[in-house]
């Protein structure tokens, strides 16, 4: 501002450790922070993580590009896609160079303003645009570059626009698409809309083409759904409420492709909330734990996930820095982008920091899967 398939459990086996350092791509905001003028030297950084110790190598800026606040790496390892969170918004494909750098190849307008999230699923790139509630769909070639139809038209294959609003007038004056996920059965795509308190539903065809299919779930007014993750049982999902500072547990009916709220748990221990209002950001599933980053309180909160999909009491661990905007799990370490502290840190399960790298305004951490 990643469903079970978007946020798989971390790799912890011997094969991962044997391959040596894991390259991480870090997308950033402009140096002056979110909402400031884009294209003044910010870009995508690369930093390598030692999977055995959690230590980070020396980070380097590998390409300058405007406001790449969200990046995703193609499974081939040869292409990285990044948004330009700007008005109008674009997405760019970068070719990975032999020296580990990135070279821009094609930039495509996405038909919306301030794109903030990317989902790569089955050779289709999905783009959520925050300001005007747009979902763009760009098919890819098998090598991770844009498909011929995108290259020929210079536009996404599909663009969908949400409508609606919510009761929090300064944040929900209109639709705000914030996150895209694919359901465990891969029959639908869900879009969390912070502005309308809904999970919008899109039916998927075999070729990845989408058809708008209504609303999969309505959250309580003023929730502000931001990010989500599916439970291991595929019968529950967890939706982060950015505005009400809660994690909402929904029972998922795969046949009907609908979610029904069953519980809500606070995003942070009351004792660690501090003076600033908690503002949850990213959530992912790590084995039998759900891990949530909370800005304002500047903590990671971990919830045990029971076999029935319910969440146990969350335990919050204070981070040594401000504004955990995004995190990733690599070889059982949690790598956190601390936006306002201009650092990427690595922590273990109890929140102890084991690695740190200085990177201006980090917004997203991505790795090849």
Chain-centroid distance of CA 65 in Å reads: 19
Rounded Cα gap, residues 29 and 84, in angstroms: 9
Assign a CATH topology to domain 14-366.
Methylamine Dehydrogenase; Chain H (2.130.10)
pLDDT of residue 355: 98
Please tell me the number of Cα atoms within 13 Å of 291 on its side-chain side. Answer: 29
Q: How far is CA 307 from CA 311, 345, 347, in A?
A: 10, 31, 26
Tokens encoding 235: 């019968």
**pLDDT tens string 280-302:** 999 999 999 999 999 999 999 99
Chain-centroid distance of CA 293 in Å reads: 11
Rounded Cα gap, residues 364 and 44, in angstroms: 10
- With b meaning 16 or more CB within 10 Å and e meaning fewer, what string describes 40-58? eebbbbbbbbbbeebbbee
Q: Which long-range contacts (CB under 8 A, 24 or more apart) does 56-59 make?
A: 56/344, 56/346, 56/355, 56/356, 56/357, 57/21, 57/357, 58/357, 59/26, 59/344, 59/357, 59/358, 59/359
Rounded Cα gap, residues 88 and 355, in angstroms: 36
pLDDT of residue 39: 87
**210 CB contacts (<8 Å, ≥6 apart)?**
135, 137, 158, 160, 189, 202, 203, 204
Where along the chain do its domains lie? 14-366
Residue 28 · residue 362 · CB < 8 Å: yes
Rounded Cα gap, residues 293 and 281, in angstroms: 6
**pLDDT tens string 308-358:** 999 999 999 999 999 999 999 999 999 999 999 999 999 999 999 999 999
Confidence of residue 3 (pLDDT cuts 50, 70, 90): very low
27 pLDDT above the threshold of 70: yes
**pLDDT tens string 69-96:** 999 999 999 999 999 999 999 999 999 9
The mean predicted confidence, pLDDT, of the chain is 93
pLDDT of residue 6: 36
Q: What is the pTM of this model?
A: 0.94
* Residues written for the chain: 369
Q: What is the C-alpha end-to-end distance of the chain, expressed in Å?
A: 23
**251 CB contacts (<8 Å, ≥6 apart)?**
235, 236, 259, 260, 262, 309
Residue 174 · residue 158 · CB < 8 Å: no
Rounded Cα gap, residues 211 and 113, in angstroms: 21
pLDDT of residue 33: 77
- 292's enclosing H/E stretch is strand 289-295
- With b meaning 16 or more CB within 10 Å and e meaning fewer, what string describes 9-32? ebbeeeebeeeeebbbbbbbbbee
**147 CB contacts (<8 Å, ≥6 apart)?**
138, 139, 140, 141, 157
């Amino acid at each position: 501002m990643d469903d079970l398939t978007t946020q798989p459990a971390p790799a912890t086996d011997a094969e991962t450790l044997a391959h040596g350092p894991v390259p991480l791509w870090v997308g950033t905001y402009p140096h002056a922070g979110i909402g400031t003028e884009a294209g003044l030297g910010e870009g995508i950084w690369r930093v390598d993580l030692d999977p055995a110790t959690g230590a980070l190598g020396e980070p380097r800026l590998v390409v300058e590009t405007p406001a790449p606040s969200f990046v995703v790496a193609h499974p081939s390892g040869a292409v990285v896609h990044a948004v330009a969170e700007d008005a109008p918004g674009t997405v760019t494909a970068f070719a990975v160079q032999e020296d580990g750098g990135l070279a821009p190849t094609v930039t495509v307008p996405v038909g919306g303003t301030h794109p903030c999230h990317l989902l790569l699923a089955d050779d289709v790139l999905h783009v959520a645009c925050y300001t005007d509630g747009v979902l763009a769909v760009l098919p890819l070639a098998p090598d991770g570059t844009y498909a011929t139809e995108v290259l020929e038209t210079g536009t996404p294959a599909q663009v969908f626009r949400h409508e609606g609003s919510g009761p929090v007038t300064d944040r929900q004056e209109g639709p705000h698409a914030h996150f895209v996920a694919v359901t465990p059965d891969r029959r639908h795509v869900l879009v969390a809309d912070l502005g309308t308190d809904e999970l919008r539903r899109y039916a998927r065809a075999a070729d990845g083409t989408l058809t708008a299919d209504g609303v999969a779930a309505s959250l309580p007014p003023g929730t502000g759904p931001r990010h989500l993750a599916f439970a291991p049982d595929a019968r529950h999902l967890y939706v982060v409420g950015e505005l009400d500072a809660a994690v909402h547990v929904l029972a998922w009916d795969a046949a009907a492709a609908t979610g029904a709220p069953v519980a809500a748990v606070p995003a942070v221990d009351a004792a660690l909330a501090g003076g600033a209002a908690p503002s949850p950001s990213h959530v992912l599933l790590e084995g039998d734990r759900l891990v949530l980053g909370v800005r304002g309180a500047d903590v990671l909160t971990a919830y045990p996930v029971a076999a029935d999909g319910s969440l146990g009491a969350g335990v919050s661990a204070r981070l040594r820095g401000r504004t955990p905007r995004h995190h990733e799990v690599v070889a059982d370490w949690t790598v956190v982008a601390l936006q306002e502290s201009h650092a990427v840190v690595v922590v273990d399960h109890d929140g102890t920091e084991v690695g740190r790298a200085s990177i201006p305004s980090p917004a997203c951490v991505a790795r090849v899967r």
